[in-house]
Amino acid sequence: MGRLSVNLCGIELDNPVIPASGTFGYGYEYAELFDINCLGTFSFKGTTKDPRFGNPTPRIAECTAGMINAVGLQNPGVEQVIAHELPELKKCFHKPVMANVSGFSVEDYAYTCQKLDKEEQVGWLEVNVSCPNVHGGGMSFGTDPKAAAEVTAAVKKVTTKPVIVKLSPNVTDVVSIAKACEDAGADGISLINTMLGMRFDLRTRKPIIANKMGGFSGPAIFPVALRMVYQVAQSVNVPVVGMGGVSSAEDVIEMMTAGASAVEVGAANLVNPYICKQIIDDLPRVMDEYRINTLSELTGGAF
């Protein structure tokens, strides 16, 4: 293993830097800007069983040290992802990719994960349980340990590849949900997804986003994400992928110190499309500054 190498659920990564789902498309769009094979891997756009147009516009609102989005899982559906997006990606990315999956019922999750599990390019399944459960009154699967565990167990029954469950921060006790997912068979936990926020237009006195509220992300949420990663990493025995406001090599190292085995970079990609490459290039300098020999020995250094 190299100095920057890490292991995520049994798969070695050249480095721990992973563009987060929803901020990197299906990869080939960014491949026009730089060689995306420099990445550890990336999590592609959240994919559902059926195509989704997403929420009405406007979907984006700027705010201090971050942004709010309510895109609404716009994607072409799993069949089109397998038929078109993955073959296009294969032309420019030669590593295992992380498949991010969303759903509105347990059956949705199982169907989509089973389909993607068969794809050679897919290395991990990142299961986003922040979606509203249409059979449970619209409450997110990720707000209830039992519901999160049910999704995890259903996906594990129909897949062979590592399943990483992505958790919402919009809960009182994220640790209980993480442990429920681990007990149900999750191979890893990733967190945090976006927080819930909103902005108003003072001229119209109405919410800027058509959906009224949306996911708050960016540097402002980094301390909250760091705290939750630290809490979960101390409580589970599976790898943790940390994310939330990460925008520098120092942030990556801080996340790993809090217990993350790998680190996702989200909103920063939308501000600077080269940010992940720049972070990777800068990691050796920051490691030297803090006398870190290898990143693999760093995880959980604060415990």
Mean pLDDT confidence for 275-302: 94
SS3 197: strand
Residue 302 has pLDDT above 80, yes or no: no
Q: How much is the pLDDT for 136? A: 60
Average pLDDT over residues 219-238: 98
Band (pLDDT 50/70/90 cuts) for residue 177 is: very high
Give the Cα separation of 217 and 190 in Å (integer).
15
What mean pLDDT is reported for the chain?
95
pLDDT in tens, 189-209: 999 999 999 999 999 999 999
Cα of 302 vs its chain's centroid, Å: 23
Report, as an integer, the average pLDDT of 70-95: 96
Domains recognised in the chain with CATH numbers: 6-297 (3.20.20.70)
Q: Would you please indicate which residues are annotated as catalytic (active-site) residues?
A: 131
Q: Is residue 190 within 8 Å of 264, Cβ to Cβ?
A: yes
pTM > 0.85: yes or no: yes
